[in-house]
Amino acid sequence: MKTYFLTVAAIAQLIEGKVVAGNGDVQIAQLASIREAMPGSVTFVAKPMYEQYVYTTQASAVIVPKHFEPQQPVSASLIAVEDPYLAFNKLLEKYAALQSLPTCGVEEPSYIGKDVLIGENVYRGAFSYLGDGVHIGHGVQIYPHVYVGAEVVIGDNTIIYSGAKIYPRCNIGQHCIIHAGAVIGSDGFGFIQQQTGGYQKTPHVGDVVLKDNVEIGANTTIDRATIGSTIIDAGTKVDNLVQIAHNVTVGSDTVVAALTGIAGSASIGNNCMLGGQVGIAGHIEVGDRTMVAGQAGVTKSYKEGNTTLMGMPAVERKQFVEQHIFLKQLQKASASN
């Protein structure tokens, strides 16, 4: 039997919106994108480029901006809100909470070492491993095949998905999410070239510290410090397939997109945004509120922050645009000759 999520009117109340067209008693079973929505689903439109789909969607309800004025007949119920993105995100959180993933209990077989402290309402999946001296907070969820090394500390309500590996002595804060396949605390890429031409490995005896509310994407790797700590500050979100090297510090509420690489001992400020495939050279400093465009390569420090960097090697946006215009002019001049 189909289980319904909420009525249109209840959804409007939940997201602090108002039903401005259609029937508030219609029941909603799922969330969907506006082009793929079917009857019984709710979707949203936030950008003018998607307005055309409001008139053709099969969704039962559409969340729209507060001042949206339909230019054609609409079959779906309309819920008006201040910010459709934020409203739909709130619905996603509600919907996710209804999913039947395990949140408490122990599945066997699993391994637990000596002197392990485990809080209340913890879930440990099958084949999970907790090393000696691990401290697990309340409400933590550890999914199957997770490895947690000795003396790791994991704060309350953190979720660690299947196959993630946390090396010994790392410290994970509260309300963090570590996705499948992520590796926290592996050795940094440190070697000393010998006179013979070979390389001698540099031991890495530091750790990794994730502060509260950090999210780490699938198959991302964060290396432990040579000495001291590699630090990801509170609220920062790191995408899939990102490499963060030894002794890096990333500030609070920074977002790092996929395939980015941050070399050793680099420092990234607070509230920064790093686009996909960005490269950050080692031992440089990027100040607060810096935006780095996708595929840019940052090779020197921009300590003052509050800027946008583009290109390879990366320069500030104004200089990048000037360079681009100059190249266009040069191409035209060359073609005319």
The burial class, CB within 10 Å (0-12 / 13-18 / 19+), for 327 is exposed
Number of neighbouring beta carbons within 10 Å of residue 267: 19
**Is the sign of the CA dihedral 103, 104, 105, 110 positive or negative?**
positive
Q: Which amino acid is at 282?
A: G
**Long-range CB contacts (< 8 A, 24+ apart) of 231-237?**
232/208, 233/270, 234/173, 235/211, 236/211
What is the biggest distance separating any 2 CA atoms in the chain, rounded to whole angstroms?
A: 79
Closest CA to 174 of 157, 188, 191, 149: 157
Token digits of residue 177: 């999410």
Token digits of residue 243: 């490499």
**For 166-199, b where at least 16 C-beta lie within 10 A, e where not — what string?**
bbbbbbbbbbbbbbbbbbbbeebebeeeeeeeee
| CA 127 to chain centroid | 26
Torsion-angle region of 313 (φ positive above 0: left; ψ -120 to 50: alpha; else: beta): beta
Q: Is there a catalytic annotation at residue 246?
A: yes
Closest CA to 59 of 80, 92, 89, 29: 29
From the candidates 138, 204, 246, 283, which is the catalytic residue? 246
Q: If you ran DSSP here, which 8-state letter would residue 72 be given?
A: S
The span from the first CA to the last CA of the chain, in angstroms, equals: 74
Instruction: Report the distance separating Cα 29 and Cα 205, nearest Å.
Output: 51
Task: List residues with catalytic annotation.
Answer: 246
